[in-house]
Amino acid sequence: MTTANWVFAALLVLQGHFAASYLVPLDGEAQEEFGGLLAWLWPWSDGDGGLMGQLAVGGDLPLAGLFLAMTSATLFVCGALAAVEIGVPFGWWRFLAGGGAVLSLTLMAGFFGATKLLPMILAVAVLWAVATNWLQPPG
């Protein structure tokens, strides 16, 4: 197992976190934690809105965003498992990681804001890795 596989798996898990954090948007007080840095690692906040609707703490989440977030997070985590061959065949990593990245980009673009830039840049990096078949089989 190469170090690159583990680093890429960690990147996919981080991307899964960015997508899944949609389920629990930060309230105004939490956005200021750690000198305001928490909002950059937890990109969803109360009042975020866009083409897919508006987020509210304790309110209903827009259904399209919920579908994209959960599907993207699931694909990213399964892609991470495939990258390190834990219960998922290595050959599936491109489909899983690429699908997660496309859905994540769609989700972030639907609620675009400054805190969505890091997840979007990382999703583009994942798409680059998929397009170039960057990850090599372990062993």
Is residue 90, in this structure, part of any structural domain at all?
Answer: yes
In a domain, 139, yes or no: no
The predicted-structure confidence for 37-57, as pLDDT tens digits, reads as follows 777 777 877 777 888 888 877
Residue 137 belongs to a domain: no
Q: Cα-flanking dihedrals φ and ψ of residue 112, to 5°?
A: -55, 135
Distance CA 66, CA 71 (A): 8
The answer to whether residue 136 sits within a structural domain is no
- pLDDT per position as a tens digit, 100-128: 999 999 999 999 988 899 999 999 999 99
73 in any annotated domain: yes
* Domain extent at residue 7: 3-131
Q: Assess if residue 138 is contained within a domain.
A: no
- Would you say residue 68 lies in a domain? yes
Q: Which two tokens stand for residue 100?
A: 């997660």
Number of domains present in the structure of the chain:
1
The answer as to whether 31 is a domain residue is yes
